[in-house]
Amino acid sequence: MKHLFFAVFLFLITNPLFAANFTVIDFMALDGAEQALVSGAYDTFTGNFKPAGFTQISKFKVRKTAQDMGIQLSTASPQQMKPVMDKLKVTHIVFGKVRKINSEYVVTVSFIKAGTDAPLATDEAHFSGSHVEPVKALALNLAKKLRGGNGGGGKAQAAAPAKVLNEPGIIYGYLKVFPKDLGPFPNDPEDIINNINAARQFGYNTWRVPTENELALLVTEGYIKNAQGYMSDANSSGKLRLVTDKKTAKELEEEAAAEEASRSVSDNSLNEASGLQWSNKNAMKWDEAVEYCKNLNEGGFSDWRLPTIAQLRDLVTNCPGLESNGGCGLTDDYIYRINGDLTREQDESVYEMCSCPSDESGGSKYSKFGDEGDFWSSTIVPVKGYRALVLGFHRCGFKAKDLDDQRYFRCVRFPQTSLSKYVKMSNSEAKNLYMQARALADTNTEKTKELLLRIVNSADMEDKHYEKAKQLLLFLIGSKAKKIGGLMWSERSSSMMNWNAAKEYCEGLSEGGFSDWRLPNIDELRTIIENCPKTEPGGECKVSERSGCLSFNECYKPWGSCFCHASKVYSKLGDENLYLWSSSHRTDEYGNIDPNIVWNVHFAEGDEDGGELGNANGVGFEHYVRCVRE
């Protein structure tokens, strides 16, 4: 009888009908964690996470299924993802997030039953050097936690009663937990949180809404029974359990006072009148300068940022109208009012006293630091496309310069003045505008850019929606943003790859805030051809998936109808001397698909040509790829 019971049990846990499948969703980068490090942590984790009794489902298959079902994975909640998981028979999902706390990285990974918010197991890794060994150990430990049966066929342990507190609890020595729940609230109670912080409840003035991973920790550590119905950075309604990872208000004030007393940045860099402090000079592209300042640690300080135009005017001397309190009307308030559009308002008085005569000595007489040349501001204006304002010290005044130019800059910090003097937009306003912009991104690009511009010019650079808005705006206005005939094109891949890899590359691509990219068909590729009328859409060449003409013998005739021979650039995107893959297979003259041959476009001659798809070993022709979305 025992043998029969064991045989039945073995059948149940090995039969595919009862298999437990999981997928690992891309790790999220939070609080300044670099995307390259986050991607590396994801690869290390997935390569070492092998829980017994589970089968991993490729994230590419999950993304493709979600795309087919019209679900945006990057913004979907676990409940919204449930139809995708049900279709693929995925029983569990692994979520990971990477945060940067001072100089240390924290990777938190949760193993969650599909369709719920409650984690069955959570673990984390801390490191300041290489991520490989700590994340590998994290993967092994999390897999070990699941051996007790809470993940697959076993029954999860009943949740312990939530802890009752009279003072803040502490998790892992850094995360402080408010003693009780607040709410429920229909939306983000920003005013209530601000009042709690103003009153320094329990000594802290930095209480905030928890992240999803922190909410998972609250469950596993027994502060709340489950995550359902609680607010997080991904859910703006429900009950609220505040957290903070900062020191008490008194400790922060004492540190700030000690920091000021022992600062190592030269006193000459501090303007006592305005209370601004300046870093050393550097030169980069605009976006690089923004990131450089956000990550700068100079003189023992790490709260630097790229200056606004009002802050840049603090550097001006010998030009009374353009100095901080001068008569020039070009201010942060003015930019906020007109949303950076210098052509929108024709009041010439705004620009009076906004410049001084050229300094033939090089411009140094107009700079308190003796600087020469143009210096970046953080302000973008829709002039000649989209450009950033620079303060030029040769002919002291502001100019709009291309974002890809190399310009000087100095980072700024605020040791003796309030940041609120310069931040014109609250975090909640930035969040609302960003959500509106994302909703319009596919249908009204100009309105989207207008909303994003308001965030970039007026929100706090430390606000997560500032970074999201900046990246999406740069994507839409920069060389990466190519929308042709209703289609949006990605950047070209950095390397060549075979067709299978190209298809998987597009299905897994996340660029410009979008994750619904795919490999273009041959008709779509033809829309980016120029200077070759024969192969442009509607041209003499018959090759077309839309018309069902994909046979070489039938559709590549007459000879010469599908290529050009002239010394021209044939790509609207600037591609030269390379092939781009399509998703369209060749067929024979009877319409039978050849699984080993795929049409592509050769931009050396502007013609369509064939390329080998690759054999079972993945060996075959390798070409570049541009992905497309509608």
Q: What is the mean pLDDT of the chain?
A: 78
Quote the pLDDT of residue 267.
44
* Confidence band of 258 (pLDDT split at 50, 70, 90): low
pLDDT (tens digit, 9 = 90+) per residue, 563-619?
777 666 788 887 877 888 899 888 877 778 888 888 888 886 444 443 322 222 233
The rounded distance, in Å, linking the Cα atoms of 184 and 229 is 8
Looking at residue 207, what is its pLDDT? 94
Please name each of the domains of the chain with its CATH number.
2-148 (3.40.50.10070), 169-249 (no CATH), 267-417 (3.10.100), 427-478 (no CATH), 481-630 (3.10.100)
Residue 262 has pLDDT above 80, yes or no: no
Q: Does residue 298 sit in helix, strand or coil?
A: strand
Per-residue pLDDT at 547 exceeds 50:
yes
Average pLDDT over residues 514-525: 89
pLDDT tens digit sequence for 276-324: 888 888 999 998 999 899 888 887 788 898 998 888 998 898 899 889 8
What pLDDT score does 619 carry? 31
Helix (H) or strand (E) holding 484: strand 482-484
Please say whether the beta carbons of 227 and 118 come within 8 A. Answer: yes
pLDDT, tens digit, for every residue of 143-175? 887 764 444 433 333 344 555 567 888 887 788
Q: How confident is the model at residue 408 (pLDDT cuts 50, 70, 90)?
A: very high
DSSP state of 199: T
Euclidean distance between CA atoms 169 and 179, whole angstroms: 7
Residue 453 has pLDDT above 70, yes or no: yes
Select the more confidently predicted residue: 473 or 136.
136
- Closest Cα partner for 349 from 327, 382, 372, 379? 327
237 or 60, higher pLDDT: 237
Task: List, for residues 475-494, the tens digit of each pLDDT value.
Answer: 777 644 467 777 888 888 88
What mean pLDDT comes out for the span 343-353?
A: 64
Residue 417 has pLDDT above 90, yes or no: no
Residue 116 in tokens: 């719920």
Name the pLDDT band for 11 (thresholds 50, 70, 90).
very low
Mean pLDDT across 331-338: 78
Least confident of 54-68, 149-163, 347-361: 149-163
Distance CA 529, CA 249 (A): 61
Q: Give the model's confidence band at 122: pLDDT under 50 very low, under 70 low, under 90 confident, else very high.
A: confident
Distances (CA, A) of 72 to 67, 174, 185, 263: 7, 33, 26, 47
Relative to beta strand 92-101, strand 28-30 is: parallel
What is the DSSP code string of 386-423? SEEEEEETTEEEEEEEETTS-EEEEEEE-TTS-GGGT-
Residue 14 confidence class, pLDDT cut points 50, 70, 90: very low
Average pLDDT of the residues in 97-113: 83
Confidence of residue 325 (pLDDT cuts 50, 70, 90): confident
pLDDT band at 423 (very low <50, low <70, confident <90, very high): low
Give pLDDT, residue 376.
95
- At residue 205, the pLDDT reads 92
- Asked if residue 61 has pLDDT above 90, the reply is no
Q: 171 or 513: whose pLDDT is higher?
A: 171
pTM of the model: 0.45
Q: What is the mean pLDDT of residues 166-186?
A: 87
